[in-house]
Structure 1
Amino acid sequence: MTDIELTELQKEYDGVRAVKGIDLTVRDGEFLVVVGPSGCGKSTTLRLIAGLEDVTDGTIELGDRVVNDVAPKDRSIAMVFQNYALYPHMTAAQNMKFGMKSVSDFSGEEIDARVEEAAETLDIPELLDRKPEALSGGERQRVAIGRALVREPDVFLLDEPLSNLDAKLRVQMRAELLKLHRQLDTTTVYVTHDQTEAMTLGDRVAVLDDGRLQQVAAPQELYDYPVNRFVAGFIGEPAMNFLPVEVRGEHPAVATHDAFTLPLPSASGLDAARETDVVLGLRPEDAALAANRPDADPVCTATVTVTEPLGEQLLLHCTVGETEVQIKVEPRTEIRPGDTVELCVDEQRLHLFERASGEALYHSADAQARAAERVPGE
C-alpha cells in the first residue's frame, strides 16, 4: 500500500489556475472521495496524481518518493475513467490485458491468470469473450475496473466512474466498490460531483471549490460541522437553509430574524457571531411541523409554496418572512400550497456563518457534545 501526499499542488492552463495550492494527505489503504461542483479542479487533481498532467508547482509524493517527473507507467497507479475507455474491437479479456506487458514483466500465462482472477472478483467470468457493444453499462464498468485490478497497483484512481449508469445501477455499483475496496485494501482516490456518492463511499471526503480545498473530514463530520457556508450548502440533499439573523443577548443568546427569535445553546463562537453579520444555517430535516411535535414550542409560521411528495417524506418549500426555506416533514401529511404552518426547530442542530466570508462561527451541537462529556456533579 501507498500513501499520497500533495503539497501546495498547483496547475495552470494559459494563465488560468485550475488547482490552487492543494495540501492533502491520502492515507495507506484509505478510500478518499474528492467532491465538488463541475470545474472545481477535482478531475485535474486526479490527473496530476496519475501523471497525465504536468504539475505547475508543488509536489506529489507516492509513498516515500516525489513523482512529479515520473512517467505515468512508472507510478504504480491504475485509473478508471468516466467513459470506461474500452476498445470496441477487443473482447473484455483483451481490454483487461491491454497495456499489461508495457508496465510489467509478467508472462502471458501470468496475465491470463490475473484476468481470470479479476473476472471472478467482479463476477464477470462469463463476459470475457464479449466485446463492449454486447455489454451493459454496469458490465462495461466492471471490465474497466478489472483492467485496473489486473495490474495490482499501489493506488487506484477513479474519475466519476458511475456517472453514466442509471440510478438503480449506481446504488448497486457503490456497494460493489465498497466490498471490493474492503477486499483489496488499496489506497483509492475517487472523484465525483455527486455528494450522495461522496458520503456513502468515502472513509473521508475532500470538498473542493474553485480549485481550493475547503474541508477534509469523515462524512458525518462534514455534515455536522461544515467549516464554511459552501461546504454546508454542498453537503446534504436538499441543501441547508440559510436565513439572515442577528445574534443578541447572553443568557441565553438568541438569533433574531424578521419572522422569529430562536434561543442559541451556549457554545464557542457566539461572541464572534455577535460582532459581525451572520446567517443561520438550518438543515431541512432539523425543522418540523409543530403539530407533530407536541413537546416542542413553535418557533415561527411559514407559508407553503410547493409540496414534493418523496415517499418516505414530504418536502415543503416555504417562505418564512421573506426567506425561502425547505423543510422535510412526515409523509402523507395533508398540506397544500398556500397553507400556513407552524414550525419548531431542533436547537441542537443550528449553525452560524459569517455573512461576508462564509466561515463557520458556531455549531450548537458543540454545546450538546460538551454536556455529554461533562462529569456528573461538576
Structure 2
Amino acid sequence: MSDIHIDGLTKEFDDVTAVDDISFDVDSGEFLVLVGPSGCGKSTTLRMIAGLEDITSGELRIGERRVNELAPKERNIAMVFQNYALYPHMTSAENMKFGMKSVSDYTSEEINERVRKAADILDIPELLDRKPSELSGGERQRVAIGRAIVREPDVFLLDEPLSNLDAKLRVQMRAELLQLHRELDATTVYVTHDQTEAMTLGDRVAVLNDGQIEQVDPPQMLYDFPDTRFVAEFIGSPAMNIVPIDLAFGDGAVAHHESFELSLPNPELFTERPDSAYFGVRPEDVSLVDNVAGDPETFEAEVSVTEPLGESLLVHCLLGGDELHVKAEARTELDAGDTVELCVDEERLHVFDDAGDAIYHSSPRGETVSDAAETQVEP
C-alpha cells in the first residue's frame, strides 16, 4: 500500500483546461471516491494518476516517489475500466494473468497461485476457463477486478466500473467492493458520476466541478455541511431546496422570502452577513406541521405535484415563484392545489452567498447533526 499526494495538478488539452490546479491526498489504505458530473475532470485525474495522461503541471507522488514522468508499468498501480477491457479470445484466467510477467519476476506457478487466490476472493473459481462471451456483465467485472488483484499493486484505480450493470447488480457489486476493500486494505481511488455510489463506498469523497475540487470530506460531512451550493445540490436525492432570501441581522438573524419568514438559530455561525443570499434545506428536513410536536415557526405552501416513493411521499410545493420539495410520510393524502402548513428542522439549515459559497450552517461544523429535531416525528 502507498499513499498518494497530489499538489497543483493541472491538465490542459490545447486551449481547454480539463483539470485546474487541484490538490488532495489519499491516505494509505483509504478508499477515496472522485465524483462529479460528466466533463468535470474526474476521469482525467484518474488517468493522470495511472500515467495514461501526461501532466501539464503540478506534482504527483505515490508513496515516496515522484511519478510524473514514470510510465504506467513503473508506478505499480492496477486499473479497472468501465468497459472491462477483457480480451475476447482469452479465458478468464488468461485475462487475469495477462501482462504479469512483463511487470514482475514471478514464475508461472506463482502467477497461477495468485489467480486462484483472486478467484477465491471474488467467488469466481468456476469461471476461470470461460471466455468473456460466456460471462454476464457482473462476472466480467469480477474478472477485470481479479486482473487488478493478482498484481498486488500499491494503488487500485477504478473508473466507473459499475456503470454498465443494471440497478440491482450495481447494488450487489457495491457491497462486494466494500467487502473486497476491507479484505485487501488497499489504497483505492474510484471514479463515478453516481452520488449514491460515492456516498456508500468512500471513506472520503472529493466532489469535482468544472475541473476543480469543490470539497473533500467524509460522506456524512458532505451531506450535513456542504461547502458550496454545488455540493449541496449535487449530493443528495432529491437535491437540497435552494431559494433566494433577504437577510436581516439584529439581536438574531431572520431570513425573509416572499412566502415565509424564519428566524435562523446560532447567528454567530454566519461567516459573513450579506443583505441577500440563498436559503437551503433538504426535503427530509421540511415537515408537515401535523407531524411535529411543539410550536415551531410555520409557513404555508401550495401543493403542485405528489410523487409516491413507497417509504415516503415527495411533495412538490409552490412558494411564490419558487418550488420546495418536502418528504412527507408515506400514504399522506394530499392533492394538487391543497394548501399545507410547513416547518423546518432548525438544526439543518444552510445559507449560501451569491458566489455559491456556504456562509452559514445552523449547527456547528464538525459536530454530529442529529437525525431529527427532538420534537420531530420521522417521516
Count of aligned positions:
370
- 1:277-356 equivalence runs, <5 A: 277-297=276-296, 299-355=298-354
AA of the residue aligned to 1:207 = V
Quote the residue 1:20 is aligned against: 20
User: Would you say the 8 A contact 1:96–1:144 is kept in 2?
Assistant: yes
CA drift at 1:317:
1.2
Q: How do 1:218-297 residues align onto structure 2 when only pairs under 5 Å count?
A: 218-270=218-270, 272-273=272-273, 275-297=274-296
Rounded to whole Å, the distance in 1 between the matches of 2:322 and 2:363 is 24
Question: 2:105 corresponds to which residue?
Answer: 105
**Fraction of identical pairs, as percent:** 64
Contact residue 30 and residue 203 of structure 2 kept, 8 A: yes
Q: Which moves more between the two structures, 294-303 or 7-16? A: 294-303
Contact 1:267 1:366 in 2 (8 A): no
Which consecutive unaligned segments of at least 5 residues does structure 1 have?
373-378
Match of 2:124, as an amino acid? Answer: I
User: Would you say the 8 A contact 1:298–1:342 is kept in 2?
Assistant: no
Tell me if structure 1 keeps the 8 A contact 2:224–2:369. no
Q: Distance in 2 between matches of 1:302 and 1:95?
A: 59
Q: After alignment, is 144-153 or 286-295 more displaced? A: 286-295
How far is 1:297 from its partner? 2.9
- Please tell me the residue identity of whatever aligns with 2:129: D
Query: C-alpha offsets along residues 160-186 of structure 1, whole Å, 9 cap, x if unaligned?
Result: 001111111111111101111111111
Which structure 2 residues correspond to residues 201-212 of structure 1 after superposition, within 5 A? 201-212=201-212
In structure 2, list runs of 5 or more residues that go unmatched: 371-379
Describe the shift of the 1:222–1:370 C-alpha distance in structure 2 as closer, same or farther (beyond 3 A). closer
The answer on whether the counterparts of 1:290 and 1:296 sit within 8 Å (CA) in structure 2 is no
Q: Deviations over 1:242-286 (max 9, x none)?
A: 11111113333211111111110024443723x242000110010
CA separation of 1:2/1:77 partners in 2, compared to 1, >3 Å: closer, same or farther?
Answer: same
- SS in structure 2 at match of 1:38: coil
Q: Check conservation: 2:269, 2:364, Cα contact below 8 A.
A: no
Query: Given the alignment of the two structures, is residue 61 of structure 1 paired with residue 53 of structure 2, yes or no?
Result: no
1:306 Cα offset (Å): 1.3
Q: Which amino acid aligns with 2:238?
A: P
Distance 1:370 1:52, change over 3 A: closer
Rounded to whole Å, the distance in 2 between the matches of 1:176 and 1:162 is: 11
Residues 119-172 of structure 1, C-alpha deviation per residue, up to 9 Å, x if partnerless? 000000001111111111111110000000000000000000011111111111
Contact 1:253 1:265 in 2 (8 A): yes
Partner of 1:358: 356
Contact 2:264 2:346 in 1 (8 A): yes
C-alpha distance after superposition, 1:182-236 (max 9, x if no partner): 1111100000000011011000000100000111001111111111111111111
Superposition CA RMSD, Å = 1.6
CA distance in 2, matches of 1:16, 1:367: 36
TM-score (norm 1): 0.95
Deviation at 1:366, TM superposition (A): 1.7
The 1-side partners of 2:342 and 2:161 are apart by 41
d(CA) in 2 for partners of 1:143, 1:269: 51
Q: CA deviation at 1:76?
A: 0.4
CA distance in 1, matches of 2:102, 2:308: 54
Give the superposition deviation at 1:348.
1.1
Structure 1 residues 57 and 349 mapped into 2: Cα distance closer, same or farther (>3 Å)? Answer: same
Match of 1:186 in 2: 186
Report how far residue 371 of structure 1 moved: 12
Q: Per the alignment, do residues 164 and 195 of structure 1 end up closer, same or farther by CA in structure 2, a change over 3 Å counting?
A: same
Contact 1:12 1:56 in 2 (8 A): yes
Deviation at 1:88, TM superposition (A): 1.1
Structure 1 Cα separation of the partners of residues 369 and 79 of structure 2:
46
Which residue pairs with 2:377 in the alignment? none
Equivalent position of 1:42 in the other structure? 42
- Name the stretch that deviates more: 83-92 or 116-125: 83-92
> Structure 1 50/334 Cα, relative in aligned 2: closer, same or farther at 3 Å?
same
1:220–1:368 Cα change, 3 Å: closer
Q: Find the aligned partners of 2:312 and 2:287 in 1 and give their Cα distance.
A: 12
Q: What whole-Å deviation, never above 9, does each CA across 1:328-373 have from its counterpart, x for those lacking one?
A: 1100011112211111111111000002x1010000012995999x
The Cα offsets for residues 80-101 of structure 1, whole Å up to 9 and x where unpaired, read as 0001111111111111011111
Partner AA of 1:348 in structure 2 = E
4+ residue stretches of structure 1 with deviation over 4 A?
A: 367-372
Structure 1 pair 38/184, CA: closer, same or farther in 2 (3 Å)? same
